[in-house]
Amino acid sequence: MKIFTAEQIRSWDQFTISHEPVSSIQLMERASMAAAHWISEHCKNHKKLAVFCGNGNNGGDGLAMARILYLKGFDVDVFVGDSRKKLSENGSVNLKRLRDLSGISVKKIDVNEHYHFDDKTIIIDALFGTGLSRPLEGEYKMLVEQLNTQKNIKISIDIPAGLSIDYIFDNNPSVLKADYTLTFQCWKRSFLHPETGKYTGKVEVLNIDLSKDYTDQTETGYTVIDDLLIESIFIPRQEFSHKGSYGKAVIIGGSYGKIGAAVLATQSALKTGAGLTFTLAPECGYEILQTSCPEAMFIEGGKQFITNFEAEKDFTFGIGPGLGTHPDTEKSLLSFLKNYTSPLILDADALNIISKTPGNLKLIPKKSIITPHPKEFERLFGSTENSFKRLEVAREKAKMYGIYIVLKDHHTQIITPKGNVFYNITGNAGLAKGGSGDILTGILTSLLAQGYSEEETCILGVWLHGKSADLASERHSKESMLPTDVIGEFGSVFEELNRKVARSL
């Protein structure tokens, strides 16, 4: 699913209006119907609504929704915006339609009233749409701050009041903190970053049939990974194949006291389909690895830590889990990278070693995949003011070094050497535990070994990691799930993928 800017979304609306054809007011009715239907289906225990409408087209959506939901049996109070400013043309039409009905209270917004609603009332935010270009101020700022103190469920239409969809406002702006955001047609970038996404609550993307032709012909550097993309990438296992068909994955990691990281990465590589899996680890991890991962072969790379990086032509390497940063390990890794030219996966301590000297970044083979969390990214490339700027730095560095960057976050971002960005929306806070990144390294190493391209490896691997975590959290809870529980759900995800792909043939 492509992500568009505010300007592109306006053009998308206009393109749909001129090519379908459909009028602007009909398109607003379509959006309002979609949002009203979602509310009527999901809010059966709440029959009272307080709908706050701004003066623009988002307010028009709110006015139309209020009418539709009133006719569906909801008790609706409507609060409209600044009387000194004219409503949009479509907003005026919907206000007239609303006033033609008896039984709906329409009042001017007045922050001096200090709004309070009973706990059965849902607050609907239809104050501002995707075109907001500056922080809230004056009456609307006071209103949003007042509504944020209410414990009622809050639903924002298209985007929470106070957010921009394209960037982050400075100086801690006032933003409505929604429990749900009903957005139209596509994700917005600000929903996917920690500083701004915290305001959206659960995001529901509602299809309002905007033009597919516009989507197909409009370029954007930002994409959300969705099921259609995954199904286009996934390759079912062929019946007449053998272990040689699926590559040789080699996990290089582990040091005294950190063998568990190598175990998790190895188990992960095994469970995601590599034909042959090896673990290159220090001798102190031999018994642990052979006992916990009997299907994998052991290569000794040192005694207490790794001092020998052994390479064969057809190996695919995932380096870093539990590696440690001993000077001898550092020397050996950098020497290995100077002489190795094939793409590989670098994570954790491998990245920490590389970050010690800026020049080391040039040693990373072209088209390799690095998987830093925000702190590791900072060590590699420097600090940034926020995650939007961090992503721009990542795009610049991915182009500069010709590498793929998997920037781990709540919504992990995959940045390609061309500067394209793929946001992942699977996964949950249960992954905020040591070992989760080691699992991802194992997945990526396995998929790359099996012949997926580097871009496909990143997209499918990150999605699979998150999807399995979602199943693990359902079974064990976010608090109690372990990285091994995530590995245990790989099979369920692959079963579902195989069923979907088989149906589409």
Per the structure, the count of domains in the chain is 2
pLDDT tens digit sequence for 419-445: 999 999 999 999 999 999 999 999 999
Residue 256, judged by CB atoms within 10 A of its CB (0-12, 13-18, 19+), counts as middle
CA end-to-end distance (rounded Å), the chain: 22
Residues 206 and 270 in one domain: no
441 neighbors 465 (Cβ within 8 angstroms): no
Residues 189 and 241 in one domain: no
pLDDT of residue 287: 97
pLDDT of residue 83: 60
pLDDT tens digit sequence for 299-330: 999 999 999 998 788 999 999 999 999 999 99
Percentage of the chain surpassing pLDDT 70? 99
Can you give the residue range of the structural domain that contains 195?
A: 6-218
Residue 411 has pLDDT above 80, yes or no: yes
Q: Which of 188, 218, 248 is the last residue of a domain?
A: 218
Buried/exposed code over 4-14 (b: 16+ C-beta within 10 A; e: otherwise):
bbbebbeebbe
Residue 172 has pLDDT above 80, yes or no: yes
Residues 383 and 431 in one domain: yes
Question: Which letter does DSSP use for residue 278 in this model?
Answer: E
Coil/strand/helix, residue 235: coil
Whether residue 154 is contained in a domain is answered as: yes
Tokens, residue 340:
């190795």
- The residue behind tokens 């290569």 is 299
Mean pLDDT of 347-376: 97
What is the CA angle 446-449-453, rounded to 5?
Answer: 105
Whether residue 112 is contained in a domain is answered as: yes
pTM of the shown model: 0.94
Residues 201 and 250 in one domain: no
Question: In angstroms, rounded to a whole number, what is the distance separating the alpha carbons of residues 253 and 248?
Answer: 16
Question: In angstroms, rounded to a whole number, what is the distance separating the alpha carbons of residues 85 and 373?
Answer: 46
Whether residue 225 is contained in a domain is answered as: no
What is the gyration radius of the CA atoms in the chain, in angstroms?
26
Q: How confident is the model at residue 133 (pLDDT cuts 50, 70, 90)?
A: confident
Q: Which long-range contacts (CB under 8 A, 24 or more apart) does 149-153 make?
A: 150/115, 150/116, 150/117, 150/123, 151/119, 152/50, 152/117, 152/119, 152/121, 152/122, 152/123, 153/43, 153/46, 153/122, 153/123, 153/179, 153/180
Residue 505 has pLDDT above 60, yes or no: no
pLDDT of residue 143: 94
Residues 240 and 190 in one domain: no
pLDDT tens digit sequence for 277-301: 999 999 999 999 999 999 999 999 9
Q: How confident is the model at residue 111 (pLDDT cuts 50, 70, 90)?
A: confident
pLDDT of residue 299: 96
Mean pLDDT of 334-357: 96
Question: In angstroms, rounded to a whole number, what is the distance separating the alpha carbons of residues 350 and 481?
Answer: 27
Q: How confident is the model at residue 195 (pLDDT cuts 50, 70, 90)?
A: very high
pLDDT of residue 476: 97
Whether residue 223 is contained in a domain is answered as: no
Whether residue 287 is contained in a domain is answered as: yes
Q: How does strand 48-53 pair with strand 413-415?
A: unpaired
Mean pLDDT of 89-96: 90
Q: Which of 189, 218, 247 is the last residue of a domain?
A: 218
Q: How confident is the model at residue 503 (pLDDT cuts 50, 70, 90)?
A: low
Q: How confident is the model at residue 75 (pLDDT cuts 50, 70, 90)?
A: very high
Q: What is the mean pLDDT of the chain?
A: 94
Whether residue 1 is contained in a domain is answered as: no
Q: How confident is the model at residue 170 (pLDDT cuts 50, 70, 90)?
A: confident
CATH number where 271 lies: 3.40.1190.20
Mean pLDDT of 87-104: 87
Q: How many CA atoms lie within 13 A of 299 on its CB side?
A: 21
Give which of 154, 223, 123 is closest to 423, Cα–Cα: 223
Q: Which of 218, 251, 271 is the last residue of a domain?
A: 218
Residues 141 and 284 in one domain: no
Residues 126 and 271 in one domain: no
Residues 210 and 316 in one domain: no
Element (H, E) at 498: helix 490-504
Question: In angstroms, rounded to a whole number, what is the distance separating the alpha carbons of residues 332 and 351?
Answer: 14
Q: How confident is the model at residue 502 (pLDDT cuts 50, 70, 90)?
A: confident
pLDDT of residue 21: 87
pLDDT tens digit sequence for 453-494: 999 999 999 999 999 999 999 999 999 999 999 999 999 999
Give which of 245, 259, 250, 269 is closest to 309, Cα–Cα: 250
Q: How confident is the model at residue 113 (pLDDT cuts 50, 70, 90)?
A: confident
pLDDT of residue 84: 62
Whether residue 151 is contained in a domain is answered as: yes
Residue 504 has pLDDT above 60, yes or no: no
Whether residue 456 is contained in a domain is answered as: yes
Residues 140 and 286 in one domain: no
Residues 244 and 322 in one domain: yes
Range from 25-39, 42-56, 380-394 carrying the lowest mean pLDDT = 42-56
Sign of the Cα pseudo-torsion (255, 308, 367, 444, in order): negative
Coil/strand/helix, residue 479: coil
